[in-house]
Amino acid sequence: MGSITELPALAVDSTAPLPPFKVLIVGGGYGGLSAALNIQDLCCGRAPRCGEPPKEGESAPEPFQVAVDITVVDERDGFVHLIGMPLALADEKYAEKAWVKYEDIAALRPRSSSEGGIRVLHGSVSSIDPERKVATYVARGGGVQTSELEYDYLVAATGLRRAWPAAPQAMRQKQFRFEAAQHIHAATEAKHGVVVVGGGAVGIEMASELKMLYPNLKVTLVHSRDALLSSEPLPDDVKSRSLEILREGGVDTLMSHRLDTTEETLDPQGNTCLRVRFTNGHTLLADKVIMAVSSPVPSTTYLPPQILNDEGYVRIQPTLGFPADGGATPHAQDHFAIGDLAQWSGIKRCGGAMHMGYIAAHNIHQLMRQRLQGAEPVFQKLNEVPPMIGLAVGTKAVAYWPEGGMTSGEDVLKTFFGDDLGFSICWNYLQLGGPKKEEVVAEV
Ligand SMILES: Cc1cc2nc3c(=O)[nH]c(=O)nc-3n(C[C@H](O)[C@H](O)[C@H](O)COP(=O)(O)OP(=O)(O)OC[C@H]3O[C@@H](n4cnc5c(N)ncnc54)[C@H](O)[C@@H]3O)c2cc1C
């Protein structure tokens, strides 16, 4: 990073980090990539891609360039557009699009010869030692052998562990494509239909995408409660409108039905199928049962237990830093946690994860500046987040946020998800396709 200003360090703490600052980001999903790219922007003196432009009358903050070495570690070999999973598991072409290998993401490559790119390692982090500021890393395919990754600042962005089919279990794009294709074939060849169990957002979207793409397929969504989205803190009209749209799209619904057992049986023509039994005695025949009821758990086993709540979420501060807890975690101020794994208000959303990535980036950049210039850091803080949702239901969507209330329809789908279940919206927001040609030329 030849053109980057490296200022002399203040001689206050001989153990304090010096440039190039090492930033380690664990998890390369929406939150992790946002953190990585926004840190890179700030350290190269650019406006951060996910930051807000200055308000009228305000001037943009003085750029502060500093050499940085950014590493992202992820168990998967690519960025997964998780929001698109319901469509990826109904449409093979889309499944190919929804998982992009990190090596194919232009934004992670250096923009110019003087700018380091973002290094992505395919493997997992199994523990961190905040005192020594090292993470234990297990390379994918490297057996049980571990190595250490040193860092000055750490961002934990490992999200939630979700069961298949809500989230892919594959770690490689190739394997995921194979599993998605198998799932799609099994679901769409069904003569007796598909039963989707679970009326949360994932179940609703899976059922509606299948029905939209295969109108002749019998799709039944089963939910144990009398309203969809029953565990979400959303107004009743959002839940009832979601049910209406689902039914309008041709999905059969069985409310207040709790799955009991599934067993192989023969239909009257002697064909093998499944008999699905519910605890209220009702039964039906199907060829495939898709479970969309998993309770996700935070992927935080590698973090110090004292920073987690009882359910494993990180007890973040509004700056997204680890809890200070009177010094219980050494160097807590240099550790951040963002995205789904953080204990915070609001429904877990990718927009929230990307915004948190930006805030962590800003705050880390402020710490670097403090370290080198002694300037008092001006931290950004995360506000409380009210419940809000955008739910794709086939050709329409239902959206709710407190100021706007509930809206629904085809135009709402377009606004919230575009025409590819939000892939392009997220891709463009994070500018994963890389800078425009003229920006590269200008900077070289
Ligand atoms: C089916 C489905 C539909 C959804 N629909 C919507 C929607 O319409 N709108 C919306 O806003 N949100 C939606 N969400 C929620 C949204 O996907 C999450 O809020 C978002 O993914 C959170 O981003 P994240 O970066 O925190 O975590 P993730 O996107 O889950 O990324 C975490 C990354 O960390 C990696 N990882 C985990 N553990 C380790 C480890 N120990 N070492 C290394 N890497 C690790 C994982 O491989 C993964 O790549 C949906 C979720 C699902 C499952």
Atom of ligand 1 nearest to the CA of 301: 41
Total number of domains in the chain: 2
Same-domain check for residues 280 and 356: no
Atom of ligand 1 nearest to the CA of 351: 11
Q: What is the pLDDT of residue 8?
A: 42
Question: What spacing in Å lies between the alpha carbon of 295 and ligand 1's midpoint?
Answer: 14
Q: What is the pLDDT of residue 70?
A: 97
Query: What CATH number should be reported for the domain holding residue 238?
Result: 3.50.50.60
Question: What spacing in Å lies between the alpha carbon of 162 and ligand 1's midpoint?
Answer: 9
Closest residue (by CA) to atom 5 of ligand 1? Answer: 83
Last residue of a domain, one of 292, 321, 355: 292
Distances (CA, A) of 111 to 103, 114, 135, 262, 435: 15, 8, 28, 54, 8
Last residue of a domain, one of 257, 292, 327: 292
Question: What spacing in Å lies between the alpha carbon of 32 and ligand 1's midpoint?
Answer: 10
Closest residue (by CA) to atom 2 of ligand 1? Answer: 83
Going by C-alpha positions, the residue among 96, 85, 98 that lies closest to residue 209 is: 85
440's tokens: 């590269």
Atom of ligand 1 nearest to the CA of 31: 25
d(CA 303, CA 285): 45
d(CA 299, CA 157): 9
On whether residue 392 sits in a domain, the answer given is no
Q: What is the pLDDT of residue 350?
A: 96
pLDDT digits (tens, 9 = 90+) for 291-323: 998 789 999 999 999 999 999 999 999 999 999
Closest residue (by CA) to atom 19 of ligand 1? Answer: 349
Question: What spacing in Å lies between the alpha carbon of 437 and ligand 1's midpoint?
Answer: 30
Same-domain check for residues 118 and 226: no
Q: Which residues of the chain have pLDDT under 50?
A: 1-12, 441-444
Task: Provide the pairing of β-strand 153-156 with 335-337.
Answer: parallel
On whether residue 150 sits in a domain, the answer given is yes
Last residue of a domain, one of 238, 269, 292: 292
Same-domain check for residues 318 and 433: yes
- Could you tell me the residue range of the domain that residue 129 belongs to? 21-162+296-387+422-443
Closest residue (by CA) to atom 53 of ligand 1? Answer: 166
Going by C-alpha positions, the residue among 139, 136, 145 that lies closest to residue 123 is: 139
Closest residue (by CA) to atom 35 of ligand 1? Answer: 27
On whether residue 410 sits in a domain, the answer given is no
Same-domain check for residues 187 and 315: no
Same-domain check for residues 97 and 211: no
CA triple 241-246-248, angle to 5 deg = 95
Q: What is the pLDDT of residue 327?
A: 82
Same-domain check for residues 280 and 308: no
Atom of ligand 1 nearest to the CA of 82: 17
Same-domain check for residues 342 and 370: yes
Question: What spacing in Å lies between the alpha carbon of 30 and ligand 1's midpoint?
Answer: 7
Question: What spacing in Å lies between the alpha carbon of 340 and ligand 1's midpoint?
Answer: 7
Question: What spacing in Å lies between the alpha carbon of 213 and ligand 1's midpoint?
Answer: 25
On whether residue 400 sits in a domain, the answer given is no
Same-domain check for residues 25 and 139: yes
Cα within 13 Å of Cα(20), Cβ side: 19
Question: What spacing in Å lies between the alpha carbon of 444 and ligand 1's midpoint?
Answer: 34
Atom of ligand 1 nearest to the CA of 33: 25
d(CA 352, CA 365): 20
